[in-house]
């Protein structure tokens, strides 16, 4: 089971990645549920109408402690790939592949390496995003 720290890093990466997903196909505003391998409870996030129209505003939600950036984006059909790199609060690099299944559903896979307190870890993680209704 992933540690809390690796989940926190992953959550920061998730928030950083949502703008790219939104650009692939216009997503609908609302409450979204994110399920990940190894997590017993899904995460939820609210995407407002303004966020859905201008996904760059989601980048501001990451917090000052994160510096994640995405590069090398390519698209083929409903699949988009890119790299993400963060150096703080911890080093995190990933190759990300996501596939949209409509405005209310997409999946994302990250092949990643992370480093914290001098210890490196590599792995792969798949996440499923589904719109579950209106924001609460």
The tens digit of pLDDT for each residue in 51-61 reads 776 554 454 44
Q: For residue 117, is pLDDT > 80?
A: yes
If pLDDT is split at 50, 70 and 90, which confidence band does 40 have? confident
- The whole domain housing 118 covers 4-133
Q: Alpha-carbon distance 66 to 69, whole Å?
A: 9
Q: Alpha-carbon distance 130 to 76, whole Å?
A: 22
Burial tier of 27 (Cβ tally within 10 Å: 0-12, 13-18, 19+): buried
Helices first, then strands: H and E counts in the chain: 2, 7
Calculate Rg over the CA atoms of the chain.
14
pTM over 0.85: no
Domain count for the chain, please give it: 1
């Amino acid at each position: 089971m992933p540690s809390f720290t690796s989940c926190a890093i992953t959550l920061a990466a998730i928030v950083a990645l949502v703008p790219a997903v939104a650009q692939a196909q216009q997503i609908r505003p609302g409450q979204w549920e994110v399920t990940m391998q190894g997590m017993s409870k899904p995460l939820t996030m609210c995407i407002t109408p303004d966020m859905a129209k201008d996904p760059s505003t989601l980048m501001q939600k990451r917090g000052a402690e994160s510096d994640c950036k995405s590069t090398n984006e390519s698209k083929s059909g409903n699949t988009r790939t890119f790299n993400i790199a963060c150096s703080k609060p911890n080093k995190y690099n990933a190759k990300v592949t996501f596939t949209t299944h409509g405005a209310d559903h997409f999946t994302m896979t990250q092949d990643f390496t992370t480093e914290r307190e001098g210890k490196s870890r590599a792995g792969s993680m798949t996440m499923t995003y589904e719109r579950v209704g209106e924001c609460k």
